[in-house]
């Protein structure tokens, strides 16, 4: 099987050539892999009078109805509905294929049977992290596992990571895409990588020990966890020299967060660190990356792997594909996957400036890029927009604004009811740590002004904490993910649910 990772030709094709190649690959993929072997898409295509022959170009994609999260959730009639999306070839159908017959003649039947088994049998899974809905499993065959390395290896390649460098992967150990994706990155590119399992497995202390012992050039982490680890290193007056690249995923990476992480690295003895933000999701089995940039530089956008899948940006209202450079909802279609396969999957995530095909200003690659801010929609849709004290607040925006506020270190928003009475008014409390030489009084004023001017919200309390208290509040090392928004209201959206979950599962 040709290995496109080692074939960089796609990085240099222009838009038309890329889309032409994508169209051919899409047609063959539907014809040979999806339609014969996916129960869901076999039925869906039949219902709409569609066949593989109708889909030969990227423009033809829009004939295929969207798939959404709801299509994957179990129903009473079909409690194992996600299995309808798993490609399940009939051995007899495969063995009749001329290419298979030829391979069997050349290499022997037993070996080809084993190869087909490795290509098609699911042996691995990751899942989404929905709290309000069942987690949705995505199954992988060996073919897909190889693609984890292919995709994450490209992150390492775009980062310009050298063979002799060392990486530490601090993504939380769980059956989630982020941890496993980056686990395979070092293996794919033959670069030393330690996966610590993140805070819950080793605590901030254990991760710091690993960093000081192994002296990595590359740290891979969720941004908030990395912030706490580096902050603790500063408190302990450690020296961490030689850090070159921070690969961030699993959450958005606002400019303010980039600046704070850069400043902490500098304090620790690693000036000029570069940051790579990644974007991915369970359903794609891929994550994509920006070029490494110094904090404060305009992010260049996420390089997509045009040979491995098609990302469309659609108008979320009409479902029509947007022209290049226009924002909208991100929709995913793979071109070479086995196991669980979704076509035209609506992520619910919004990309601000859509797709560009211009060469990347940093590296010159011609891969299409997703440009602008990405607003991730939750598995828990209700918490993206919350009515707080009678005002609708977009938490994506609120989080971004707080992350960008100078002088504010870590923070947590707490929603509660006065006196824990479900009928009482909402209260919003902001817990903060200061950074640099910002005073608590000054920060208090700045936060009130920001919340009032941009969100029409007046917080009840702003409480300043030490870094250690904040680590406890955010459950660093206890929860899989740091809790930046907690809902402690006794009724309605449910006690203790974290709005932090809006960022879904992925790296
Ligand atoms: Zn680039």
Does any domain span residue 279?
A: no
pTM tops 0.85: yes
Distance 299 CA to ligand 1 centre (A): 10
Does any domain span residue 8?
A: no
Is 506's pLDDT higher than 90?
Answer: no
Distance 151 CA to ligand 1 centre (A): 15
Going by C-alpha positions, the residue among 330, 445, 309 that lies closest to residue 377 is 330
CB 422 within 8 A of CB 490: yes
Does any domain span residue 236?
A: no
Distance 177 CA to ligand 1 centre (A): 23
Does any domain span residue 428?
A: yes
Quote the crossing angle between the two packed helices 98-107 and 109-120, to the nearest 10°. Answer: 130
Distance 362 CA to ligand 1 centre (A): 5
Helix and strand totals (H; E) in the chain: 15, 22
Distance 29 CA to ligand 1 centre (A): 28
CATH code of the domain covering residue 419: 3.30.300.30
The predicted-structure confidence for 305-332, as pLDDT tens digits, reads as follows 999 999 999 999 999 999 999 999 999 9
Distance 356 CA to ligand 1 centre (A): 12
Distance 293 CA to ligand 1 centre (A): 10
CB 270 within 8 A of CB 243: yes
pLDDT of residue 389: 73
Distance 370 CA to ligand 1 centre (A): 11
Does any domain span residue 151?
A: no
Does any domain span residue 483?
A: yes
Distance 260 CA to ligand 1 centre (A): 23
Q: Say how many domains are in the chain.
A: 1
CB 359 within 8 A of CB 300: no
Domain that holds residue 497: 381-503
The predicted-structure confidence for 91-139, as pLDDT tens digits, reads as follows 888 888 888 888 888 888 899 999 999 999 999 999 987 665 778 999 9
Does any domain span residue 354?
A: no
Distance 133 CA to ligand 1 centre (A): 36
The predicted-structure confidence for 268-307, as pLDDT tens digits, reads as follows 999 999 999 999 999 999 999 999 999 999 999 999 999 9
Q: How confident is the model over 250-273, as a mean pLDDT?
A: 94
Q: How confident is the model over 165-190, as a mean pLDDT?
A: 96
Going by C-alpha positions, the residue among 63, 71, 1 that lies closest to residue 38 is 71
pLDDT of residue 503: 34
Give the DSSP H or E segment for 182.
Answer: helix 177-189
Does any domain span residue 390?
A: yes
Contacts (Cβ under 8 Å, ≥6 apart) of 221: 169, 170, 171, 198, 229, 246, 247, 248, 249
Distance 307 CA to ligand 1 centre (A): 17
């Amino acid at each position: 099987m040709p290995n496109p990772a080692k074939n960089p030709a796609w990085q240099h094709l222009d838009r038309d050539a890329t889309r032409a190649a994508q169209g051919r690959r899409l047609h063959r993929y539907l014809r040979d892999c999806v339609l014969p072997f996916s129960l869901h898409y076999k039925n869906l295509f039949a219902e709409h009078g569609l066949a593989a022959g109708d889909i030969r170009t990227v423009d033809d994609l829009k004939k295929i109805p969207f798939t959404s999260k709801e299509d994957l959730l179990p129903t009473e009639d079909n409690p194992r509905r996600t299995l309808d999306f798993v490609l399940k070839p009939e051995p007899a159908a495969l063995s009749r294929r001329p290419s298979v017959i030829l391979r069997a003649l050349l290499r022997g039947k037993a070996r080809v049977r084993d190869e087909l088994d490795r290509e098609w049998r699911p042996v691995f899974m990751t899942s989404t992290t929905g709290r309000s809905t069942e987690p949705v499993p995505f199954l992988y065959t060996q073919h897909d596992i190889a693609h984890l390395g292919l995709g994450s290896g490209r992150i390492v390649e775009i980062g310009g990571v050298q063979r002799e460098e060392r990486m530490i992967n601090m993504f939380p150990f769980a059956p989630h895409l982020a941890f496993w994706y980056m686990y395979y990155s070092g293996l794919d590119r033959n670069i030393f990588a330690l996966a610590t399992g993140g805070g819950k497995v080793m605590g901030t202390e254990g991760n710091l020990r690993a960093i000081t012992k192994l002296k990595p050039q590359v740290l891979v982490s969720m941004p908030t966890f990395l912030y706490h680890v580096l902050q603790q290193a500063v408190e302990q007056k450690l020296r961490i020299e030689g850090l070159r690249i921070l690969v961030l995923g699993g959450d958005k990476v606002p400019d303010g967060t980039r600046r704070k992480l850069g400043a902490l690295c500098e304090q620790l003895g690693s000036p000029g660190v570069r940051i790579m933000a990644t974007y991915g999701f369970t359903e794609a089995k891929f994550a994509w990356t920006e070029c490494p940039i110094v904090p404060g530089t305009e992010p260049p956008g996420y390089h997509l792997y045009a040979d491995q899948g098609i990302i469309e940006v659609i108008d979320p209202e009409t479902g029509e594909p947007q022209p290049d450079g226009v924002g909208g909802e991100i929709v995913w279609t793979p071109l070479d996957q086995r196991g669980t396969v979704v076509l035209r999957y609506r992520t619910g995530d919004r990309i601000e400036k859509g797709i560009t095909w211009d060469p990347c200003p940093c590296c010159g690659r011609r891969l299409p890029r997703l440009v602008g801010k990405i607003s991730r929609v939750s598995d828990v849709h209700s918490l993206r927009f919350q009515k707080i004290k009678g005002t609708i607040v977009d938490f994506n925006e609120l989080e971004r604004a707080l992350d960008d506020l100078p002088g504010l270190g870590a923070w947590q928003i707490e929603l509660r009811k006065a006196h824990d009475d479900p009928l009482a008014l909402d209260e919003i409390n902001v817990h903060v740590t200061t950074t640099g030489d910002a005073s608590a009084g000054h920060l208090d004023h700045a936060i009130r002004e920001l919340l009032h001017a941009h969100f029409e919200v007046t917080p009840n309390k702003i409480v300043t904490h030490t870094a250690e208290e904040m680590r406890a509040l955010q459950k660093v090392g206890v929860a899989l993910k740091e809790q930046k928004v907690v809902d402690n209201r006794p009724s309605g959206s449910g006690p203790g649910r974290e709005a932090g979950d809006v960022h879904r599962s992925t790296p």
